[in-house]
Structure 1
Amino acid sequence: MKVLHAGNMANLGYVICRHLRKTGLDVELLIEKNPPKGSDPLRFDPTLNNQYPDWISFFDKSKSSWKLDVIRKMREKKYDLIHAYVEFPIFAYFSGKPFLAHTQGSDFREMAQSKTLRGFLLRRAYRKAKAVLFFQPDHLPLFSKLKLYNGIFIAPLWDTTFFRAYSNKANNKKFTIFHPANLEFRLKGNDKLIKGYAEFVKNYPESNLIIVDRGIDSHKIHEMVKNLSIEDKVEFIDGPLNASQLLKYYNQSDVIADQFVLGALGSIGWETFSCKKPLLAFANEKQYRDVYGESPPVVNAFSSKDICISLTKLTNNEFRKEIGNKGYEWLTKYHSPVLFTEKIMKIYNCFKQKQTSQRLKSINNMV
């Protein structure tokens, strides 16, 4: 059975294909030519030595025919199944091939809910898909809203061999917070972090907040920092960062700050856990219990006041170490490559053995 994975936002498609190929599964990956920095395997995986593997193929968005090119690729006879990420279920829908839709975040949370043509087509594609795979806990209640009954929860695999704890923080006595999240107030709540941090440094002036400078609200963040008179306690670095740069900053920091709006974790959370660092973020504990059985060990904060209080707690070395270790344990328990492979093989085997949709759904009765 040959499977084409289409799409690579945040390198999820690459990570999954790389691992599945190691287990012997016949999978290939289709991605954009000259991909965005945050979705480029070459920036993510230093072992590639600046050369794409031969199991990755490309479509060219600079060509007017790129959408048809994607559909033609999916229609190639050698592929038995399409595993489509984000908006690519739309293309898989028009390919006529059996396909899985794999949601990642705003595609299901916002795009599929919109009244746009793309939103309409994505909803149609989800209904046609053999299954809609999801891992964000806040997606669960959206299935009933969209009248979808083919959802399967599958926690993404995570390989801890690259993102790892390899040293103590840099020779710096300052309490260091690293904030690599995209600067977009609506989705990340970066403004809450700045306000909370400004209160925190009144009592802990020997602190430093490192912000990766990328996103539509970058200028607003700079203005906030200036207006709150904390310019000497904030450091901006150009982004996005590649994987090696992220690894360095994770290990040199005391605390990693993610998002304070959505209530769901993504790659920043998993990278933090993998490096055994404490994560300051907002996680919807009830929704996590509904899909995982327990909430992740984050230092939970939603408001700027919460952030200030949490940062104060995190000045304690033993508390940081405890939270960091618990995060690593949670990651290896629920995001194990072995667990992911077992579940995805069960799903693929349903197609290989031409089993019914009811059998496919029985793999997981979450939705």
Structure 2
Amino acid sequence: MIKPKRCDVLIVGSLINNDVIIAEALSKLGISCIVARTTSCPKFESASLPIVLKFFSQTDIVTVKSTCEFARLIMSASAILTFGGTVTSFFGRLYPIVTFFPLPPILNVATGADLSEMALENTLRGWTYRRLLRKAQWNVIAAHPMMFDAVVSLRLNNFLFIRHPYAIADIEIRDGCSAKKDTDTAGSVVYLHPSNLDWGATDTGGHRRTFKRNDLFLKAFIRALAAGADVRCIILDRGPDRTIARQMINASGRADRFEWRNRVDSAGLVRLIRQADVVVDQFDVGGLGGIAIEAMGQAKAVMTFIDEQACSIYYDDMPPVINCKTEDQIFEQIMLHSDRNKIAALGQRAWEWVVSNHRKQSDVRELAVRIKLAGRGGWRLTPLASNGGR
């Protein structure tokens, strides 16, 4: 067995390649990174990223085949960066006692329902995650009000507000319209609904606290069609309430304006976003999710709900999205956004905002210093020169 090489931080939790994206951002600052994935994770394909890796080498992505192999990998790292507590899952059936092991310092990145739901469950996995949250050196949380509520409920004080890095490509804008649009929709405004169809009708467990509330969007969209709006919707067949969603659409008599697609991988999602004018996310959580950031990074208008007070903790200015929460508000916004050129201009502003707040990655410098301090490696950073995209 080959001895793992030493590194400043071991990153675990693929989450649509966020492990590799944050490894690239940290590597640029001179933090040596290893990314660990299980055999069940999809093989990393560099073509699935909108950027070229210039500082992190994909040869440092390690596929872990056993608990013993992962344990050796952990002990070669000065710190661990884990998404949603994923580090415990690498230990299989031993996961409930992992937090009792002598692990390197842990920095945990909360991803959403892991903190707002799982951490509050009266289950073994909930108990395990609560132990990890308290054992962690720091927990990085996003600008979601329900995450803040969970922090209060759990009485956590080891948390950080750091904006996650995202891989945001350069987008060519022509005459106010994104050059990334793949198809001509003959004037119809195309909505893409890629998020889980989930409003608590089917998955009603007592642990549920966050929903997409996209039933409100479907009702509003059907109302807009009845009112004469020239719109159509590409909708992914995913989420616990997808069967009920089909029933709603079929009963409306306007099923011809909906195009169902199967679930897609990250590369497939990018292609779908390019076909849309507006990308629809959620109307309950109150914060930007990965789908919204991905769409804004492709210069697309996003329809979602943002809690302004929570957002102001992270950002100096509100993200330029179509911000709505109720069925009536969604209906009104669909009716107001009938001009595709104006929608494209909103997408351009969204791209500019997300580049300023998530591609420049000023917050990653603080995360890098905290990783160095946690691993007792001093605090000075030594940024690297580009490797040219190896």
Partner of 1:44: 48
Q: Among residues 141, 150, 157, which one is paired with 2:149 in the alignment? A: 141
State the distance in 1 between where 2:72 and 2:194 align: 35
Q: Among residues 198, 209, 212, which one is paired with 2:222 in the alignment? A: 198
Q: Among residues 262, 265, 269, which one is paired with 1:238 in the alignment? A: 262
Partner of 2:92: none
Pairing 1:85–2:83 present: yes
Q: How does 1:82-231 map to 2 (within 5 A)?
A: 82-88=80-86, 90=88, 93-96=99-102, 97-138=104-145, 139-161=147-169, 165-168=178-181, 170-173=183-186, 174-186=188-200, 187-231=211-255
Contact 1:158 1:337 (C-alpha < 8 Å) held by counterparts? no
Structure ranking higher on relative contact order (CA contacts 8 Å, 6+ apart): 2
Gaps of 5+ in 1: 61-65, 357-367
Partner of 1:2: 8
Partner of 1:360: none
Contact 2:9 2:80 (C-alpha < 8 Å) held by counterparts? yes
Aligned residue-pair number: 342
Q: Report SS of the residue matched to 2:33.
A: strand
165-174 or 223-232: which moved more?
A: 165-174
Deviation at 1:211, TM superposition (A): 0.4
Go from structure 1 to structure 2 and tell me whether the alpha carbon gap of 1:340 and 1:253 turns closer, same or farther (over 3 Å shift). Answer: same
Contact 1:134 1:152 (C-alpha < 8 Å) held by counterparts? yes
Q: Report SS of the residue matched to 2:34.
A: strand
Amino acid at match of 1:147: R
Contact 1:155 1:335 (C-alpha < 8 Å) held by counterparts? yes
State the distance in 2 between where 1:185 and 1:141 align: 20
Partner of 1:72: 71
Go from structure 1 to structure 2 and tell me whether the alpha carbon gap of 1:249 and 1:239 turns closer, same or farther (over 3 Å shift). Answer: same
Q: Among residues 279, 286, 294, which one is paired with 2:302 in the alignment? A: 279
Contact 1:28 1:56 (C-alpha < 8 Å) held by counterparts? yes
Go from structure 1 to structure 2 and tell me whether the alpha carbon gap of 1:140 and 1:87 turns closer, same or farther (over 3 Å shift). Answer: same
Q: Report SS of the residue matched to 1:188.
A: coil
Contact 2:224 2:331 (C-alpha < 8 Å) held by counterparts? yes
Q: Report SS of the residue matched to 1:335.
A: helix
State the distance in 2 between where 1:272 and 1:354 align: 37
State the distance in 2 between where 1:271 and 1:280 align: 13
* TM-score after normalising by structure 2: 0.80
Deviation at 1:171, TM superposition (A): 1.9
Q: How does 1:281-300 map to 2 (within 5 A)?
A: 281-300=304-323
State the distance in 1 between where 2:236 and 2:226 align: 23
Amino acid at match of 1:119: G
Gaps of 5+ in 2: 1-6, 89-94, 173-177, 201-210, 380-390
C-alpha RMSD of matched pairs (Å): 2.7
Q: Report SS of the residue matched to 2:139.
A: strand
Go from structure 1 to structure 2 and tell me whether the alpha carbon gap of 1:162 and 1:120 turns closer, same or farther (over 3 Å shift). Answer: farther
Deviation at 1:71, TM superposition (A): 5.7
State the distance in 2 between where 1:163 and 1:6 align: 30
Partner of 2:385: none
Q: Report SS of the residue matched to 2:368.
A: helix
82-91 or 252-261: which moved more?
A: 82-91
Deviation at 1:22, TM superposition (A): 4.4
Q: Among residues 47, 53, 56, which one is paired with 2:61 in the alignment? A: 56
Partner of 2:272: 249
Between structures 1 and 2, the one with greater helix share: 1
Q: Report SS of the residue matched to 2:77.
A: coil
Amino acid at match of 1:183: L
State the distance in 1 between where 2:375 and 2:125 align: 31
Amino acid at match of 1:190: N
Query: Could you tell me the percent identity over the aligned residues?
Result: 22
Go from structure 1 to structure 2 and tell me whether the alpha carbon gap of 1:155 and 1:338 turns closer, same or farther (over 3 Å shift). Answer: closer
Deviation at 1:103, TM superposition (A): 0.8
Amino acid at match of 1:85: F
Amino acid at match of 2:253: S
